[in-house]
Each structure stands twice: as structure tokens, then as C-alpha cells.
């Protein structure tokens, strides 16, 4: 693998780009902020200013924009943009636009990694009270976040029908850097969610998984069965799931913010545990930080 294009160089994407550059891999990266163009250049990322709103999508489609086509002429495309906050249904439209550019440009990669979310599974209040696996969401009706499921399905259908190799990574709650579990709840009293197990993943682990998948796609070792559809889905969450109360209170001590308190009675028993055994077994993945209780202290937070 010589190059990767990262659609979305934000909190995760930028650190992923830096990681790949350290390994002497060329990185193209997009940003929706013109001010961030110089930041990308300083990190040796080839920058592309791209905001996939309705106006721009129509403009790109009508003009067959060469500038944007160049972005896809790479070995791997990492799609790392969240759903729109207001018009969530537009997420599917954005993904269809990306899919079309990948398929219509003969020079474009046909290998993608899509960063999704475990929020596609039912929430705690659905009283699942069980482990959740990749095949637990098969239909739109089964999905908690229908916008995310539809976005995933754009690429899954392309993998089934148009030979687009696709890996969906359903990431748990992302932590690392300035994202500290429990910080938002500093000083909160009598929380009733203390017994719920957490489904976190450290940013460094997700980046390592992205590299592993990228290498396997490049070497054509991920999809060995010729009769099989060229797609797969992996949950990416720590294999150990301590309860929120322990994680929040430990972080409060480690990062010196006011410790939240939890009710000792009437705590909700509802829970779900994101099972990532498929990632561990199929890809022989070993987590850097398997237990959220022992995520490293982040120097850029302190």
C-alpha cells in the first residue's frame, strides 16, 4: 500500500493521517474548513477542501469535477464523516455520491473502509440486556440509527452488485486525547446509570485496526473466497466492559475533575455489551488498551 485517502480529517481522521504518514504512506485528506488547509499541509497531507452539502453535490455531479476525482485515485479510501446533525436522511445521499465517484472513475480505488458506529444497535432502554454481534442488525427495522444503517447499506449493496470491496467498522464510544469518559458528568449527583457496562474504544486501537484492514485489502488477503460477497462488518470495542460508575469515578481522580455520584438504589439494569470477538478471531487482533479502566493518561488533556 502506497497511498490512502481520508474523507474527513477531524478528531479521528487527522490522527489516522499522521499515523500513516509516519509509515511513509502518502495521504490525501479532506476538510470542510478552509482554515484547516494549512494544518493539513504542515502534516504533509495533500489537502482537499470538500463540504458535501446538497449544493456542492449537485455542482460536482454536473461539472464532473476533476479536482475531487483525484482524491479517489488511491489505494484505499477511508470514509470518516458523521451523519448531518439536522438532515440525517441526507447521509445516505452523501454516501451514494461517494460510491458513484468511486465506481465511475476507472482510476479510483475500489477498496473502502467506512467508519460507522455501534449506535446502529438498539439503545439501553430497549432492554436488550445481552451481547450484541454484527449480524444482530440485518434490516432497517432492526436498526436504532436508521440513517447509519442506510449509509452502511449503500456500500454493502455496491459490494454485492458492483465489486466494491467494503469493510464497515462499527466503533464503540471513542476515547483518547481530550475525550475523557465522565468529564461531561463532572459534579453530577445521583446518576442512575452506574451499573451499565461501557462499550468504549481508544482512538489508538481504532487507528491500528484501520491500518490492519488497509494492509489486508491491499494484499488481497481479506476476501479469500471468490464466491463470497466482497464486504465485511466488524464491531470495534474493547473486550472488557467495566461499569460506568467505576470508569467515571476513576477518571475524575486521574484528571482532577469533580467526582460524579450514583444512586445506590433504583439503578437501571438495562444494558448491551458490544462483542468484538469477530475482530479478534478473524483478524487475530490484539487490543492495545483492552480495558477502559486503564486507558492511558493523555498529556494533551492535562
The structural domains of the chain, ordered by start, are 3-180+199-240+273-290 (3.40.50.720)
Judge whether 57 and 97 are in contact, CB under 8 Å: yes
Identify the DSSP state of 89: T
Query: What's the rounded Cα separation, in Å, for the pair 161 and 140?
Result: 19
**Ordered per-residue pLDDT tens for the chain, 302 residues:** 999 999 999 999 999 999 999 999 999 999 999 899 999 999 999 999 988 877 777 666 555 555 577 899 999 999 999 999 888 889 999 999 999 989 988 999 999 999 999 999 998 777 888 999 999 999 999 999 999 999 999 999 999 999 899 999 999 999 999 999 999 999 999 998 898 999 999 999 999 999 999 999 999 999 876 656 799 999 999 999 999 999 999 999 999 999 999 987 666 668 899 999 999 999 999 999 999 999 998 766 54
- The contacts of residue 168 (CB under 8 Å, 6+ apart) are 114, 116, 152, 155, 156, 231, 232, 233, 234
Cα–Cα dist 214/2, whole Å? 11
pTM reported for the whole predicted model: 0.94
Q: Return the pLDDT at 233.
A: 98
What is the C-alpha separation between 90 and 108, in angstroms, rounded? 24
Q: What is the pLDDT of residue 299?
A: 67
**Structure-block grid coordinates of residue 132:** 450484541
pLDDT of residue 302: 46
Q: Where are the beta strands (DSSP E) in the chain?
A: 3-7, 26-31, 46-49, 76-79, 111-117, 130-132, 165-171, 173-175, 200-202, 231-236, 272-274
Amino acid at each position: 500500500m502506497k497511498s490512502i485517502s481520508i474523507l474527513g480529517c477531524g478528531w479521528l481522521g487527522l490522527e489516522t493521517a499522521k499515523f500513516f504518514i509516519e509509515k511513509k504512506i502518502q495521504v490525501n485528506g479532506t476538510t470542510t474548513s478552509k482554515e484547516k488547509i494549512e494544518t493539513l499541509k504542515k502534516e504533509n497531507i495533500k489537502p482537499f477542501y470538500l463540504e458535501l452539502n446538497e449544493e456542492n453535490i449537485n455542482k460536482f455531479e454536473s461539472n464532473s469535477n476533476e479536482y475531487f476525482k483525484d482524491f479517489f485515485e488511491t489505494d484505499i479510501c477511508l470514509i470518516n464523516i458523521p451523519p448531518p446533525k439536522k438532515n440525517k436522511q441526507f447521509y445516505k445521499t452523501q454516501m451514494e455520491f461517494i460510491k458513484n465517484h468511486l465506481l465511475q472513475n476507472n482510476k479510483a480505488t475500489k477498496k473502502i473502509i467506512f467508519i460507522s458506529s455501534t449506535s446502529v444497535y438498539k439503545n439501553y432502554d430497549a432492554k436488550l440486556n445481552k451481547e450484541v454481534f454484527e449480524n444482530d442488525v440485518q434490516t432497517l427495522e432492526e436498526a436504532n440509527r436508521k440513517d447509519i444503517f442506510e449509509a452502511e447499506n449503500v456500500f454493502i449493496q455496491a459490494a454485492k452488485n458492483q465489486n466494491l470491496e467494503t469493510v464497515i467498522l462499527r466503533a464503540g464510544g471513542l476515547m483518547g486525547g481530550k475525550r475523557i469518559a465522565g468529564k461531561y458528568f463532572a459534579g453530577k449527583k445521583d446518576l442512575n446509570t452506574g451499573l451499565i457496562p461501557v462499550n468504549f474504544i481508544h482512538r489508538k486501537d481504532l487507528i491500528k485496526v484501520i491500518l490492519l484492514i488497509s494492509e489486508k485489502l491491499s494484499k488481497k488477503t481479506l476476501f479469500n473466497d471468490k464466491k463470497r460477497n466482497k464486504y465485511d462488518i466488524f464491531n470495534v470495542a474493547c473486550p472488557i466492559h467495566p461499569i460506568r460508575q467505576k470508569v467515571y469515578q476513576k477518571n475524575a481522580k486521574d484528571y482532577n475533575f469533580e467526582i460524579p455520584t450514583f444512586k445506590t438504589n433504583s439503578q437501571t439494569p438495562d444494558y448491551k455489551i458490544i462483542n468484538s470477538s469477530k475482530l479478534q478471531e478473524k483478524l487475530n487482533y490484539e487490543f492495545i488498551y483492552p480495558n477502559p479502566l486503564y486507558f492511558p493518561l493523555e498529556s494533551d488533556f492535562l
